[in-house]
Chains A and B, each alone.
Chain A
Amino acid sequence: MSTTNALKMDKPVPDSLLDTSTQGIIGKPLDRKEGPLKVSGAATYAAEYQIENLAYGVLVGAPFGKGKITGIDSDVAKALPGVIDVVTDFDKFLTTPAQGLAPKAPQGVENVQYFGEIVAIVLAESFEAARDAAQQVVINHEAADDGRYDFEALKGEAEKPAKGDIPSHFSQGDLDKAMTDAPVTLDVTFTTPSQNSAAMEPHASIATWDDSGMLTLHGSYQMPGNDVEQLAAALGVSKSKVRIVARYVGGGFGSKLGIAPESVAAALAAKALGRPVKAVMARQQVFDATVRRSNTEQRIRLAATADGKLTAMGHETLTSNLPDDDYFEPTGQATHFMYAAENREINHDIVRLDWLLSGSMRAPGEAVGMLALEGAMDELAEKLGIDPIEFRKINEPEMDPEKGVPHSSRELVRCMDVGATSFGWDKRNATPGTRREGEWLVGIGMAAAARANMLQPSEARVTLSATGRATVETDMTDIGTGTYTILGQIAGEVLGLPLEHVDVELGDTNFPTAAGSGGSFGAGSSGTSVYLAAEAIREKIAKAMGVDVDALTLKDGHAVADNRRVPLGELAGEGIVAIGSIKPGKQEKEKTQSSYGAHFAEVGVNAVTGEVRVRRMLGVFAAGRILNAKTARSQCLGGMTFGIGTALTEDLIHDPRNGKLVNRDLAEYHLPVNADVPQLEVEFLEERDIHANPMHAKGIGELGISGAGAAIANAVYNATGIRVRDYPLTLDKILEGLPEL
């Protein structure tokens, strides 16, 4: 029988078992548990399960923008050898993917909302036959004459959305008056384009119904616990009749938070055929019909006294989305708490467009919001004649500047100081365009980083067996985040077991429901559930030893107390099972919680071509306890590289005539490649956050991208004196400002 150790985070937890335990594995840079499987090709991703009698499905997208399907002509396709059927369901196919954590996905495809919307699936005995036949399916349609595809033309018609992750509008004091009164002000507008998460594994599902009407979906999903609800709702079946398996996920970055069109198409087709169906999105379909980060237009207004004290901050953002979706990129999320200023206005409005869905992509909000805020801070610092780091320090808020509550832990100043020393900030020439090496103009820049810290309900089961091994089970996912490893480290640390003696089973909704991977809350939430379960087992071990739990030491598979040393297996009896359950509580309102950091970048800008190369980059981060120094560093490297892409190359282009994505593949949508990324450096500061969770750890997966691109843009300015506010900083935008050759 299992016990449940439940905690609602209403109060701080000042003492952590991770500090008093002695196994000594928490925080250590241990290799990933699943590493040998991944490097030998033995880790099994969604589309790779060997399932008998599988039919291959290839999805068909609408070859037009907004409009109505008048008929699907599939006679030619069906007549091809090997083709089984062409299946569609105008009511049940997903219109768009579900937003992360949404209860359900929008359904119905007769009235197509955007170019590339998935409207049918071709089933065949082989992938080749299905792919061939999919080219032959004709979607007859009437294009709508009221399609809205041009952001520039329609941005005057923006509307206020419902509250999202943060309120859509916020106002405090009088921004306009403060702008008029202040001796030094800045009023600038930044733009960022649509972006694609571009996880290396395309969205994929294998759907298998058994005789009892139970659906098993092997899918590439970040949040199986929530996705299973969305999938059941879409199919009109009970949640208990759906199981999602996602043991390995080839990256997500937000694009796999909610169920995507291939899951429902595969499930419906499998039902119709009476056999399992595999549906993998083509890379172009991932671009066309999953989810993008919205383009943004962000107006930043700052007002300051002559000695650099901010009196006002305005951050007004236009984002875009489909007519029926109120999700907006919360660009102002960090602006709410970053800097002190009495008068504040932080607004988000949506321009309604018939483009594909916009939703979460790595660090929704901060990732592009801080490009604007941290760029503007650099500009105003220069206007004031104050060093950018000093300017930020002057405006460091003692309390949350809006809510008036304390920060849970905030080491921004220390991050900037440590980074300045490590990077050699004192060698920066504040006058731009003054350092030249051959044909390269060289400059350095910095930006602050912040990412709001969140906790989500999460459960895990831990079992200590009679053999002395522990097993962790939860439907949490490891999308590259290091979850297999850190959950093993947490359980091992609390139970006194080496990592090799802890088995971690993830990504299966048969296990207790976890938070899933998103919003940087995965490690804190699922990690705490494992911690709590292990804590309960620890108490049972103490009882079995007949000692007080505080007198117990667990190390290397043994319990030590009262001058006795007993193998854990002997104390486990027939096995000790415990469930850990964490829920967010009052701590998230009573304290403002965020991870912080500082980015430093050195760039070379080619004086002839305008090409920008990142030469060096350092991120210094404080995110509470670091659970694994190796995997945490990698998360930051990844985030910083997303920052390089955001700053320099990534730009998803929509055709203003029909919304079609122009650059819908990996040759035309430019991710940073190896040669674009120097040997980035990452430093972590020692920090504990007792308000976040009992592990004192905060989120880290999205911190590395937040502010990273701004440091690069600020470095480009330092190198050239050219301020580009239209991301990405491609050479065409720099060229005309360069000095005569």
Chain B
Amino acid sequence: MQFTINGETHDVEPDIRASLLDVLREHVGLTGTKKGCDHGQCGACTVLVNGRRINSCLTLAVMHQDDDILTIEGLGSADNLHPMQAAFVKHDGYQCGYCTPGQICSAVGMLDEVKKGWPSHVSDKLDSVSLSNDEISERMSGNLCRCSAYPNIVDAISEVSGLTPAQKEAADA
């Protein structure tokens, strides 16, 4: 079967029991995506599939024929960081770093959801969503961080979201 990872086409023959996470880590050699629980409980394995954030431990690799998969390595590299990655460094949005790739992929996916107007549990209105610290915290609560960099993660995401005019507009509305 075939799928695209970080813009590159990969031909793989995964074990039908293999999760997307294990294929990324053990077969493709992309270990930036982390395994924290293997049960969809911690979010460390978050990647973007066709632009949407998912727990890669909860999906079998064989379900992803022709899918477009973006992992932390595809978002940016150490010497060419994505704005979200740079903001995590600046705001110390991590400590041990193990949940971090998942947090960052999740944050990127989350901002896109807000942009599309998807409400969350804490949204005041269902038809007009604006970003706030409460919204960020709520929407990022599927990504555990035991070092507990949460306040810094919120600051990092808040800064990046502020860079997008559409986000600012939504927040002011």
List residues 671-712 of chain A with CB under 8 A from any CB of chain B.
Answer: 671-680
Q: Does B164 make an interface contact (CB < 8 A)? A: no
Judging by beta carbons under 8 Å apart, are B85 and A50 in contact?
no
Judging by beta carbons under 8 Å apart, are B146 and A198 in contact?
yes
Q: Does B3 make an interface contact (CB < 8 A)? A: no
Query: Inside 8 A of B42's CB, which chain A residues have their CB?
Result: 200, 283, 666
Judging by beta carbons under 8 Å apart, are B97 and A128 in contact?
no
Question: Closest approach, in angstroms, between the C-beta of A682 and any C-beta of chain B?
Answer: 9
Judging by beta carbons under 8 Å apart, are B36 and A201 in contact?
yes
Q: How large is the interface on B (under 10, 10 to 19, 20 to 34, 35 or more residues)?
A: 35 or more
Judging by beta carbons under 8 Å apart, are A38 and B41 in contact?
no
Q: How large is the interface on A (under 10, 10 to 19, 20 to 34, 35 or more residues)?
A: 35 or more
Query: Inside 8 A of B138's CB, which chain A residues have their CB?
Result: 674-675
One of A36, A250, A674 near B143 (C-beta < 8 A): A674
| Interface residue stretch chosen among A381-389, A544-552, A635-643 | A635-643
| Interface residue stretch chosen among A39-47, A61-69, A162-170, A346-354 | A39-47
Query: Complex: how many Å from CA A202 to CA B36?
Result: 6
Judging by beta carbons under 8 Å apart, are A40 and B72 in contact?
yes
Judging by beta carbons under 8 Å apart, are A637 and B98 in contact?
no
Judging by beta carbons under 8 Å apart, are A44 and B31 in contact?
yes
Q: Does A529 make an interface contact (CB < 8 A)? A: no
One of A37, A44, A132, A282 near B78 (C-beta < 8 A): A37
Q: Does A560 make an interface contact (CB < 8 A)? A: no
Query: Inside 8 A of A249's CB, which chain B residues have their CB?
Result: 96
Q: Does B129 make an interface contact (CB < 8 A)? A: no
One of A37, A42, A630, A667 near B41 (C-beta < 8 A): A667
Query: Inside 8 A of B76's CB, which chain A residues have their CB?
Result: 39-40
Q: Does A481 make an interface contact (CB < 8 A)? A: yes
Q: Does A32 make an interface contact (CB < 8 A)? A: yes
Digit string of A183-220 for contact with B (CB within 8 Å is 1, else 0)?
00000000000000111111000000000000000000
Residue of B nearest to A249 (CB): B96
Judging by beta carbons under 8 Å apart, are B37 and A638 in contact?
no
Q: Does A253 make an interface contact (CB < 8 A)? A: yes
- Using A200-B36, A283-B36 as known contacts, say yes or no to A642 and B148 having CB atoms under 8 A apart: yes
Query: Inside 8 A of B125's CB, which chain A residues have their CB?
Result: none
Query: Inside 8 A of B96's CB, which chain A residues have their CB?
Result: 199-201, 248-251, 479-480
Judging by beta carbons under 8 Å apart, are B17 and A128 in contact?
yes
- Using A36-B79, A39-B94 as known contacts, say yes or no to A673 and B144 having CB atoms under 8 A apart: yes
- Using A283-B39, A675-B137 as known contacts, say yes or no to A41 and B33 having CB atoms under 8 A apart: yes
- Using A201-B34, A283-B39 as known contacts, say yes or no to A634 and B147 having CB atoms under 8 A apart: yes
List residues 124-151 of chain A with CB under 8 A from any CB of chain B.
Answer: 126-129, 131-132
Judging by beta carbons under 8 Å apart, are B29 and A50 in contact?
yes
Report whether over half of chain B's contact residues are helix, strand or loop; otherwise say mixed.
Answer: loop
Digit string of A603-638 for contact with B (CB within 8 Å is 1, else 0)?
000000000000000000000000000110111011
Query: Complex: how many Å from CA A320 to CA B137?
Result: 37
Q: Does A562 make an interface contact (CB < 8 A)? A: no
Digit string of B140-152 for contact with A (CB within 8 Å is 1, else 0)?
1111111111111
Q: Does B119 make an interface contact (CB < 8 A)? A: no
Q: Does B58 make an interface contact (CB < 8 A)? A: no
Of A283, A630, A635, most buried by chain B (CB within 10 Å of CB) is: A283
Query: Complex: how many Å from CA A479 to CA B153?
Result: 18
List residues 16-39 of chain B with CB under 8 A from any CB of chain A.
Answer: 17-18, 22, 25-26, 29-39
Q: Does B101 make an interface contact (CB < 8 A)? A: yes
- Using A280-B35, A479-B96, A671-B146 as known contacts, say yes or no to A39 and B141 having CB atoms under 8 A apart: no
Judging by beta carbons under 8 Å apart, are A282 and B77 in contact?
no
Residue of B nearest to A479 (CB): B96
Judging by beta carbons under 8 Å apart, are B41 and A31 in contact?
no
Question: Closest approach, in angstroms, between the C-beta of B168 and any C-beta of chain A?
Answer: 20
Q: Does A665 make an interface contact (CB < 8 A)? A: yes
Q: Does A173 make an interface contact (CB < 8 A)? A: no
Judging by beta carbons under 8 Å apart, are B141 and A31 in contact?
no
Residue of A nearest to B74 (CB): A41
- Using A637-B148, A666-B36, A666-B41 as known contacts, say yes or no to A481 and B30 having CB atoms under 8 A apart: no
Residue of A nearest to B33 (CB): A41
Query: Complex: how many Å from CA A31 to CA B85?
Result: 13
Query: Complex: how many Å from CA A665 to CA B142?
Result: 14
Q: Does A103 make an interface contact (CB < 8 A)? A: no
Q: Does A404 make an interface contact (CB < 8 A)? A: no
Judging by beta carbons under 8 Å apart, are B151 and A680 in contact?
yes
One of A40, A283, A479, A631 near B37 (C-beta < 8 A): A283
Question: Closest approach, in angstroms, between the C-beta of B114 and any C-beta of chain A?
Answer: 15
Query: Complex: how many Å from CA A35 to CA B86?
Result: 9
One of B22, B85, B147, B151 near A480 (C-beta < 8 A): B147
Query: Inside 8 A of B37's CB, which chain A residues have their CB?
Result: 202, 283, 665-666
Query: Inside 8 A of A674's CB, which chain B residues have their CB?
Result: 136-138, 140-141, 143, 145, 150, 153-154
Q: Does A75 make an interface contact (CB < 8 A)? A: no
Query: Complex: how many Å from CA A672 to CA B147?
Result: 11
- 30 A-B pairs within 8 Å (CB atoms) are namely A31-B90, A36-B79, A38-B97, A39-B97, A40-B78, A41-B32, A41-B73, A45-B31, A47-B31, A47-B35, A127-B22, A250-B96, A251-B98, A251-B146, A283-B36, A283-B37, A480-B147, A634-B92, A634-B95, A634-B147, A634-B149, A634-B152, A638-B147, A672-B148, A673-B150, A674-B138, A674-B141, A675-B134, A675-B138, A675-B141
Given contacts A40-B76, A200-B44, A282-B38, 14 further A-B contacts (CB under 8 A): A37-B78, A127-B22, A131-B17, A200-B96, A249-B96, A283-B36, A633-B92, A634-B152, A666-B39, A667-B39, A674-B136, A674-B141, A674-B153, A680-B151
Q: Interface on A for B, CB 8 Å cutoff?
A: 31-32, 34-45, 47-48, 50, 56, 126-129, 131-132, 197-202, 248-251, 253, 280, 282-283, 479-482, 630-631, 633-635, 637-638, 640-642, 665-667, 671-680
